[in-house]
Structure 1
Amino acid sequence: MNRLLRITFVLALVASLASCGGEAKVLVGTSREVLMVYSEDSKFSAGALYKYMTRILYTPQPETLIYLRPIKWDKFPQYENFRNKILFLLPNDSLWSLCKEEEGVLFRKNLFLRGDFTILVCSYDSRAMLRMITDYMPVIWDTILNKAIRELSEVEFLGGKNRKAMEKVKRLFGLEMVIPAGWKEYKEGEGFLSFIKGNPSRFIFIYSEPSERSFTLEDVVNLRDSLTTIYYEGDSVVREYITSMTDNVAGVSILKIYGLWKNDTLVAGGPFVSYAFNKDGRFYLLDAGVFAPESQNKVNLVLRVEGIIRTFR
């Protein structure tokens, strides 16, 4: 009898969905894709943000960190279930009501579909919108990129934590950082500790000095080269392929570097990301990279391991 009731319920549910006309909507687009919707009046604001957010990482082939998909408002109904969206809204746009008479850059979850993320750029005037978007560009960039890092790195933490490794990191460096299960200690030296995992080959290292220091981009790259020469059999940074930016993690200001490493002796190379910062009276350099020559999407991999070093506290 219970089985008959369950079957009846399932059939009723299917019939109900069918009667609603159409299939259930699902999210489309990857964590690194963003739909940008604009009108003729907001095209200059959209263009300015597009230019700001178009950043290339060499892996060694050039890959875009964040893919932007610009469309006009008349096409939006076909794409409203996109995972990430930036909507440029003026009073004459069809969805201006989403702004609720509020001017500014607004961040909304589950606005069109469960799981989606939407940034509303709301302004009564196209010139004011351009000034606004210029001020908010870094915030929008950080929000979109860090969301992608979180989502892509989730797979690294599915197996749990390597608590023994985490305790060692805390003891040696005074740093809280989540080391996922399956990552193995690789090499240790003065102020240095590294971990690796295979399939594909991924690596992270932690380096620290007992006092804070001032540093430039060149200082950090030179320091990385000096460490990888010793511990990674001669790896070095390809200087012409560096992208750097400032960031803030858990209230700590960091210099973030994306780049390409190479090893001429081993005929190897791939993307990496480094975090340099001062914290609690110490200097730190955290680094994550990959070697995956067979992969056609190495940016996903480097953002995935970046999610590990980003757990520092």
Structure 2
Amino acid sequence: MKARIKLLIILTVLAVIAGCAKPKPEAIGSFNAVFAFVDPQEADLLKEPLELAIEHPIKTPRPEKLFRIIWGDTNTFDDATRHHIVLIAASIKSPGWWGAFVRRNLDKKAYEGVKKGQFNVFRKKDPWARNQILIILTARNADELRAFILTNMDLIFEMINNYCNEQVSQWLFGKYQGKGERKDLERKIAEEYGFGIRVPRMFEWEKGTPKERFLWLRALDPERWVFVYWEPLDSTQYKKISLSWLVRTRDSLCLIYYEGDSLMKEELTYRRIYFRNLPGIKYRARWKNVKKVIGGPVVGYVLDDIEHKRRYILDGAVFAPGVRKEPYLRHCELIMLSFNPDARAFLDSLNMR
């Protein structure tokens, strides 16, 4: 985070929320829906930057987004307060209802910090319902607020995305109808493969052996899968990841283990990342099967583990015709985010869970 960015976590400054005596209901609805509110006087300046910061289109046969902004007004606000993610963006000079909301609900210290250009982001957990987050974006005027959003899009997105991942993870790895996380399977994988990865209740170890350096986890209804593959890494390859190698390697694995699916190279995008201090890339694309005329979205990682001399591919994909793909692709990504190249550390954490 840039040094000039100030993030203030609100604990008690929202006066409309403080002092509620009755128990709060559980938040409802989708975790990828963001109920957003801006004043009409500032909408032309703020809506587009917020959509760029939050929505993030993903590679699917039908266009989808990681998050959907549902724009509201004072007539829909009461309903929005029942949902998981609420966002209000208004400058402290805005003459509209949301500008008044911000001025009314920031305490003196927070308000003075905004006036001085010190604070722009305020966050409150469970303001009207349990498992809910309220985010307020503000600034001295609408131009400054627009500039803040455009220069801090990653900060805004990660705040929302991290919250969503936390909530979905609780469901994904939690117990449902007597079934829970596959800890026995996780232990077996860590002991045999030398790395750790969490396995939700609905996933099975479908294919792969340690000798093949390949592990395939799969769930049905709808179908989604995660595979982990590794090959030896030497110092001359470190941090030198070729996209052509990725496509060639992934396609060859799918030819062996999954009916010849292949990546659509023209759809492949990537960015460089660090994952548990391992350098690598995160990629998104679409897969296709020419013979079956089917396809779906892909998200994955290539990671260089110089300590254990391994280069990993973590790859998640979905086949879910007729339904939204994003929720199931997120399941795959959360499984991959649980990956730990240190099997001993993974087993230690497993024993504590």
Give the TM-score, by structure 2 length.
Answer: 0.71
Identify the residue that residue 179 of structure 1 maps to in structure 2: 199
Which of residues 300, 320, 333 is equivalent to 1:292? Answer: 320
How much has 1:297 moved relative to structure 2?
A: 1.6
Q: 1:240 aligns with which of 259, 266, 280?
A: 266
CA deviations 1:146-175 (Å, max 9, x no partner) are 433443454442333333432343245532
Mean alpha-carbon deviation: is it higher for 302-311 or for 176-185? 176-185
- Provide closer, same or farther for how the CA distance between residues 119 and 193 of structure 1 changes in structure 2, counting only shifts above 3 A: same
Who is 1:123 aligned against? 139
Question: Aligned residue for 1:35?
Answer: 35
- Distance, in Å, in 1 between the alignment partners of 2:330 and 2:194 is 25
Q: Say whether 1:272 aligns with 2:286.
A: no
d(CA) in 2 for partners of 1:265, 1:274: 24
**Structure 1 unaligned residues grouped into runs of 5+:** 1-23
**Bigger shift: 218-227 or 206-215?**
218-227
2:133 paired with 1:111: no
Contact 1:290 1:301 in 2 (8 A): yes
What is the match of residue 101 of structure 2?
A: 95
- Counterpart in the other structure of 2:343: none
Q: What is the rounded CA distance, in whole Å, between the counterparts of 1:139 and 1:251 in structure 2? A: 20
- Range 296-305 or range 246-255, more displaced: 246-255
Q: Counterparts of 2:304 and 2:160 in 1: how far apart (Å)?
A: 25
Instruction: Looking at secondary structure, tell me which structure has more strand per residue.
Output: 1
1:206 maps to 2:228: yes
**In structure 2, what is the Cα distance between the partners aligned to 1:37 and 1:60?**
30
Aligned CA distance change for structure 1 residues 155 and 75 (closer, same or farther; 3 Å): closer
Structure 2 distance, partners of 1:152, 1:192, is 27
Q: Aligned-pair distance for 1:218? A: 4.8
Conserved in 2, the CA contact under 8 Å of 1:184 and 1:197?
no
The structure 1 residue matched to 2:153, chosen from 123, 126, 137, is 137
Residues 244 and 256 of structure 1 are in contact (CA less than 8 Å); yes or no, is this contact kept in structure 2? yes
Aligned counterpart, 1:161: 181
The alignment-based identity, stated in percent, is 25
1:310 aligns with 2:337: yes
Q: Does 1:192 align with 2:214?
A: yes
Q: 2:298–2:316: 8 Å Cα contact kept in structure 1?
A: yes
Paired AA for residue 198 in structure 1: L
Q: CA RMSD in A?
A: 3.0
- Between the aligned partners of 1:70 and 1:131, the Cα distance in structure 2 is 20
Partner SS for 1:95: helix
Listed one character per residue, the Cα deviations across residues 177-207 of structure 1 (whole Å, up to 9, x for unaligned) are 1123451231235322212233332221111
- The SS at the match of 2:240 is coil
Structure 1 residue 259 and structure 2 residue 285: aligned?
yes
Whichever residue aligns with residue 100 of structure 2, its letter is S
Equivalent residue for 1:44? Answer: 45
Going from structure 1 to structure 2, the CA distance change for 1:246 and 1:49 (only over 3 Å counts) comes to farther
- The answer to whether the 8 A contact 1:84-1:117 is kept is yes
Identify if the C-alpha distance between structure 1 residues 111 and 89 changes in structure 2 by more than 3 Å, giving closer, same or farther. farther
Structure 2 distance, partners of 1:58, 1:34, is 20
Q: CA deviation at 1:32?
A: 0.6
Q: Structure 1 residues 42, 246: CA separation in 2 closer, same or farther (over 3 Å shift)?
A: farther
Structure 2 counterpart of 1:223, from 249, 252, 259: 249
2: CA distance between counterparts of 1:222 and 1:143? 35
Q: Structure 1's 257 and 79: CA in aligned 2 closer, same or farther, altered over 3 A?
A: same
Deviation at 1:77, TM superposition (A): 4.6
Query: Displaced runs of 4+ in structure 1, greater than 4 A?
Result: 72-75, 216-219, 245-254
Q: Amino acid of the residue matched to residue 177 of structure 1?
A: I
Distance 1:72 1:263, change over 3 A: same
- CA offsets 1:73-102 (integer angstroms, 9 cap, x no match): 675355333321221132241211334314
Which residue identity is paired with 1:117? Answer: I
Residue by residue over 1:3-46, the C-alpha shift from the partner in whole angstroms, topping out at 9 and shown as x without a partner, is xxxxxxxxxxxxxxxxxxxxx86634410100121122364233
